[in-house]
Amino acid sequence: MIKTEELQKYCLEIENALVKNPYCKAGPFGTLRAYFYPQHTNPVSERMEYPELLALLNMTDEDGYWYAYIGNSLNFDGGYVSLIVRVSRFINCERVEGLFGDFHSWTTGQGAYHPCKIQHTDDAYAETQDFQAAVNALITMIQRFNLDLRAPDFPSPHYTDSYEMRVFDYFGFRRWI
């Protein structure tokens, strides 16, 4: 269970990692790129349970928009997943909860996402027991993010690298079957 102040601190950590990586480009509209959304607020403790975090990584790829995401783990009860994914639609909304609704609609609902290439098992997907570990894993992914590695063009030496297939387990195969 995480308080709002902690979530704000984690968003700032993600923002700082985005700013430090020259490959994470959002253009002039991307001044604030990391957002959190509590899925459930416990009325007794006022702590967030199962919060989510969404950050725009890059919007200069002609094939889609790159997002960093933290959400509920499918494998650990009360755990979290951190991942990087390319979505074919730009996620934009006037309200923060709309951002997360649209993100889930385009990924899980519409299947308008694509896995990325990886060189290490934790380049674009990690499952953790707590939110701080999920944030740390996502920061590492952001620090390593490079379009030449995540979506290499032929004849790049990374063109034949493996895809991060666990995103299919997480978002489902709606349009991929």
pLDDT, tens digit (0-9, with 9 covering 90-100), for 109-132: 899 999 999 999 999 999 999 999
Global pTM value: 0.85
Contacts for 177 with CB less than 8 Å, ≥ 6 apart: none
Closest CA to 58 of 117, 103, 100, 18: 18
d(CA 2, CA 177): 37
Banded pLDDT at 42 (limits 50, 70, 90): low
Tokens in use for 32?
Answer: 């604030």
d(CA 119, CA 112): 23
Rg of the chain over all Cα atoms, to the nearest angstrom: 15
- Write down the domain spans for the chain: 4-171
> Per mean pLDDT, which of 22-26, 46-50, 106-110, 127-131 is the most reliable?
127-131
Check residues 99 and 29 and name the one with the higher pLDDT: 99
Residue 74 to residues 45, 68, 165: CA-CA distances in angstroms? Answer: 25, 17, 14
pLDDT, tens digit (0-9, with 9 covering 90-100), for 135-144: 999 999 999 9
